[in-house]
Structure 1
């Protein structure tokens, strides 16, 4: 897959007969996957290339001045777009100036002059440009005038629920990581380095890795069945997100106990996939009860994970 940052290096003969889709595509969920599928199908039909245009940073951080809690890092998005078989990814730097661009200017200068698009495939709620004036009726008018086709892809629903990035974020924040995983390419992931903690787990027979996450979006406080990857090895594990109320700690921590692992994890980079929710966080009256519960949590996690290791 070709990856471009901006469009300065792109000319009409760079991407021949391009069929383009545009969006943030945070999480690359089943709705996004359908858009990509249609884009690839159109490109194959005309002997062209499938192109994704996405934005970095997220438009909300520029337009609204907030830091959104995203499902994907930029690197994860790049990997997902490539995995889904797209030919080219254009990462458009999103600036205040870009946000004020008139939709007609963007279509003429980027979609037509730079990319030379043969077609556009967009989601049902797509809009862009200044005041979001670049909606689907606008695109269809421009397509008729400039010589490219436009397809609007219907939303994907599961059990009556339209799948969207906002919906998936809510699932993750509520702890329903299992439901989120069913409409994503893989379970929700965080990556982080192992830092020194209080070593309480080791004293109770469950040495845990304290992970400094790379994302602001975290599942709800509680205990989860997870898969932990380190390099090319993957381990079944149980993880806790919370503030350790039994010990009166302050601040959120992420701790993972890896089954079938012995050794030192300090400073290692781990990737944690949240497979399913086990229980909420509980304050125990005595450390003995906590140990008993951890033993139950471990059995439950192993039951959920089965042989999901590679």
Structure 2
């Protein structure tokens, strides 16, 4: 029962009539990676079988951020990016539940009876093999299945997916990005990993070197490996090939970490603009050079390598 519209419902509230008695694909969905996409596909298939709309049921903030507020979480897709990816999956909408003390205190039984059945009147559910819910994470996929039998709704459980020996998970993708393995991360995500940020003023040093850059200050919890990357930058709906350096510029100042993006064959002004950068290849680690000539020679080589990777992307 897929439609071209995508409705976002915030909190425990009555659903619009068109979304009544939905099938819910339930999870945190950080990254909306291939494992998550399989859960969404299972939900869509069940919704089609039952003739019901299919919605994602997700949580904000990420539960880990609620339980560990002092530990900044490297989010693969902050809420706007997550909702955009859920929309792209072909769902009819998403329910965003605030993850707070009240929700954390609900028993698994109460979550099913009060939220899934009582508030949303679900017709069916799809979850991943590792989905846990309720107070102290006491609810498991098997428990949800048994509750489904009791309350009269079917539950589909999606098994683990593997990529190069890793179980596809948000944690595995974060680890890959922390190691500069953007190709491995992309295979697990089903698309290149990307981030959005606003272009800020830098020290204009790149311009003097013949490599003007768009400078982006990333949130400190983004643990991307320092180094040089082949990237694509999208601004105002147009995507450009580019090469990027993420790090602290050891040849110059060892300052705060910045993502510096040199957009090929581009001459516009990007200051203050919101841009999206997607990562297509890792070229090398960040290095310190003895002189400017050595640095420029390496930048020339990096640009050629990035163009070659992006030509095949």
TM-score in terms of structure 1 length:
0.95
Task: Give the corresponding residue for 2:49.
Answer: 45
Task: Give the corresponding residue for 2:269.
Answer: 264
1:13-32 equivalences under 5 Å are 15-32=19-36
Deviation, structure 1 residue 245:
0.4
User: Residue 208 in 1 paired to residue 221 in 2?
Assistant: no
Deviation, structure 1 residue 307:
6.8
The number of residue pairs the alignment matches comes to 307
Q: Secondary structure at the match of 2:19?
A: coil
Cα gap change, 1:243 to 1:56, in 2 (>3 Å): same
- Distance in 1 (CA, whole Å) between partners of 2:231 and 2:223 is 14
Query: Structure 1 residue aligned with 2:222, among 217, 225, 230?
Result: 217
- Distance in 2 (CA, whole Å) between partners of 1:222 and 1:63 is 32
Q: Secondary structure at the match of 2:254?
A: coil
User: Residue 60 in 1 paired to residue 64 in 2?
Assistant: yes
Deviation, structure 1 residue 20:
1.2
Query: Structure 2 residue aligned with 1:198, among 180, 198, 203?
Result: 203
Task: Give the corresponding residue for 2:3.
Answer: none
Contact 1:226/1:236 (8 A) holds in 2 = yes
Pairwise CA RMSD of aligned residues? 1.5
Task: Give the corresponding residue for 1:103.
Answer: 108
Q: Secondary structure at the match of 1:198?
A: coil
Q: Secondary structure at the match of 2:13?
A: coil
TM-score in terms of structure 2 length:
0.94
Deviation, structure 1 residue 293:
0.2
Structure 2: which 5+ runs fail to align? 1-5
Task: Give the corresponding residue for 2:187.
Answer: 182
- Distance in 2 (CA, whole Å) between partners of 1:218 and 1:202 is 27
1:88-167 equivalences under 5 Å are 88-167=93-172
User: Residue 282 in 1 paired to residue 284 in 2?
Assistant: no
User: Residue 170 in 1 paired to residue 175 in 2?
Assistant: yes
Deviation, structure 1 residue 54:
0.3
Structure 1: which 5+ runs fail to align? none
- Distance in 1 (CA, whole Å) between partners of 2:65 and 2:163 is 30
Q: Secondary structure at the match of 1:52?
A: strand
Deviation, structure 1 residue 14:
5.4
